[in-house]
Structure 1
Amino acid sequence: METPETGMLIRLSDSDETVANAADDIRDRHVKDKDGEDLGRVSDLLVDTTEHKVRLFEVASGGFLGIGREKTYIPVDAITAITSDEVRIDQTRSHIAGSPAYDPDLVRERDTYGSIQDYYGYSPFWGPDYRYPDYPNYRH
């Protein structure tokens, strides 16, 4: 059942929470699209404040020493494989380039990440039929 808090996200770096198993923390890993092209690195994780599950991850790309760096949110549903140094997703670079604009002030706005889920073709994680993804290809 949906409550007012369901679906509210916080950046892991802005919270007191940690990833239970350090090996499962994908931050700073390279992100590759479905064609193997580099998209950047995972810069943060957006966690559901109700269920404490990662719902989106933030990818930073470009720039030098953080200047000119662009960021994009991608649903965890897009992940197809995780290794010790990279995260592979089922999307293309061109599709990601057209994704909703990154705005750190809207990270807690449900409509913002609802539009992200929709853009990538996934059901809202607060919906009754949503099933959290399972990653059988995960390797350490």
Structure 2
Amino acid sequence: MSSEITGTLHELGDTDQTVADPDDDVRGRVVVDRDDQEVGRVDGLLIDDGRRVRFLRVAEGGLLGFLATHYLVPVEAVVAVDPDCVRIDTQRSGMTDVPGYDPELATLPTYYGTVYGWWGVPPYWGVYPR
């Protein structure tokens, strides 16, 4: 897999793009598991060159945004978006080994495939990495 497959992903906040309808912006919403347990808060969106949201960046823990652990949730792994939360179909207790997000890792060709593989959803480019 190469970056040509995934394209370049950008943090929405680092671009001049915005969410068309502010009510659809999930940043700041709590992320809950299938048992309604909080697993973090959406603190960023990663978009592709076509301006489609591909990942939610979720922050867990920390104090006032500092020292939080970050990980990515593919939009394909989101099962519902409610006015106050984003729902994922996994259990908090099973997320101890979710791949962490580090912008340095995100430059590696296999990183996004690993994230999709962990969530068990097909990547947007259509094939799992080998």
Q: TM-score range by the shorter chain?
A: 0.7 to 0.9
* Residue aligning to 2:19: 19
Q: How does 1:49-128 map to 2 (within 5 A)?
A: 49=49, 51-127=50-126
Q: Count residues with an aligned counterpart.
A: 126
Unaligned runs of 5+ in 2: none
8 A contact 1:33–1:92 mirrored in 2: yes
Contact 1:31 1:39 in 2 (8 A): yes
Q: Given the superposition, is the C-alpha separation of residues 61 and 84 from structure 1 closer, same or farther in structure 2, using an over 3 Å criterion?
A: same
Q: TM-score, normalised by structure 2?
A: 0.86
CA-based RMSD of the aligned residues comes to 2.0
Closer, same or farther in 2 for the Cα pair 1:104/1:39, shift >3 Å? Answer: same
Letter in 2 for 1:114: G
- More off after superposition, 116-125 vs 58-67: 58-67
The match for 2:33 is: 33
Residues 5 and 125 in structure 2, CA contact (< 8 A), matched pair in contact too: no
Separation of aligned partners in 1, 2:121 and 2:112: 11
TM-score, L = length of structure 1:
0.80
Give the superposition deviation at 1:77. 1.0
Q: Percent identity?
A: 42
CA deviation profile, 1:44-77 (whole Å, cap 9, x unmatched):
001111x221111011111112232111111111
Residue deviations 1:64-92 (CA, integer Å, cap 9, x gap): 12232111111111111111111111111
Q: Tell me whether 80-89 or 102-111 shows the greater mean CA deviation.
A: 102-111
